[in-house]
Structure 1
Amino acid sequence: MLLSRHQVLGRRERDPERLERSAYLLLSRIDTQGPMSIGQLAEAFGLDTSTVNRQTAALLRCGLAERVADPDGGMARKLRITTEGGRRLTADREANRSCLARVIADWSPEEVQELEDVLVRLNRSAEALEGRYWPRAEEDAPRTADHHPAAPRESAPRAT
C-alpha cells in the first residue's frame, strides 16, 4: 500500500489517460491469463460477481475490453482486452515503472535485486494465505543479478 501511495508522480488526476485501479487490475489479469468470464474474474480476486460485473461494464463502456465467445467452447462469454485497452495498460505499466525507477535511481544493483526478491516473496506469501495465485509470465524466465524491476518486462505487475 505504501508503494502504491508513492506512485503520486503518475496519478490519474494529473493524467486522465491513467486507468482506474480496478480497471488496471482487471486488465492486467486478463492480459496475463487470457479471456476470462466475470465469474472467473470474481473468483480470481475474491470479489462478489456483482462488483466485478459493474467494474467490467465500465471497461466495456470505455472500449477497453470486449465480450467474446469462450475460446474453449464454453457457454459463458468472456472478456478480452481491446487494442485500446492494451495500449492504455501498457502506458500505465510504463508510467508505474518510470515512477519506481525514479524512486530507486540511486540504489545499487544489489539493493534493487534485494527489493525485487523480497517483493516477490511478499506477494507469493500473501497469495498462499489467500489461496489465490497470480499467474506470472516470468515463472520460467531465468533471473539475472543485474535485472532492474523498473525496466520494461513482459510480465504481470508486481508491486505497482
Structure 2
Amino acid sequence: MDKPTHLIEFETMVLGRHIYLNTPRSRGGDGRLDRSAYILLSRILMEGPMSIGQLSDAFGLDASTLNRQTAAMLRAGLVERIPDPEGGIARKFRVTAEGERRLDTHRAESVRGLEKVVADWTPEEVAAFAAYLKRFNAGIEHLDGRPWPRP
C-alpha cells in the first residue's frame, strides 16, 4: 500500500461497499429503486428515449441482461416503450412520470446522505473532491470508450 494507486484501489473498493450498503434500494415494495433501475433511468433521462441496442452500447451489457432489467422497469411503471421518435424500427424506452418521480426521490435521499458525510468539509473541499471524482470518472470513460453524458 505504498503507492498512491494502491490507496486509490483500496479506497474505491471501500467506497463501492459503502455505496452498495447505504444507497436506498428496493426492499419489499417500498418504492425505492434498485441499483440497475437508478442507473438506467438516469441515463435515459439524460439521453432521451433509448433502444435496447443503444443501452447495450452505452453500458457494454448484452441485450438479454438489459431485456430483464427493462422488463422489471416496465412492470414497475418506471419506463414505457414508445415508437422511435426519429422514425427508426426499434422501439425505445422513455422514463414515465412515476419513474422520474422515484428517481428524483432516490437521488434526493442519496444527496442527503452525502451531505451528512461532508458536513464538516469546507465548500472548497467538497468542490475539489467533486472535480477530482469527475476527472477520475472521465478518465475511466475515456479508456472504456463509453462517455457518460453530463448536465
- After TM superposition, is the score higher than 0.5? yes
Partner AA of 2:60 in structure 1: G
**Contact 2:44 2:95 (C-alpha < 8 Å) held by counterparts:** yes
Deviations 1:92-149 (CA, angstroms, capped at 9, x unpaired): 1111101000000000111111101110011100100100000111xxxxxxxxxxxx
Partner AA of 1:93 in structure 2: R
Partner AA of 1:66 in structure 2: E
The alignment's C-alpha RMSD in Å is: 1.7
Query: Which of the numbers 55, 58, 63 marks the counterpart of 2:77?
Result: 63
Report what 1:121 is aligned to: 135
For the pair 1:53 / 2:86, whether they are aligned, the reply is no
Partner AA of 1:5 in structure 2: R
Q: How far 1:14 sits from its partner (Å)?
A: 9.3
Greater relative contact order (CA < 8 Å, ≥ 6 in sequence): 1
Q: How far 1:22 sits from its partner (Å)?
A: 0.5
* Aligned pairs, number: 137
Structure 1 or 2, whichever has the larger Rg, is 2
Report what 1:79 is aligned to: 93
Q: How far 1:3 sits from its partner (Å)?
A: 3.2
**Structure with the larger helix share:** 2
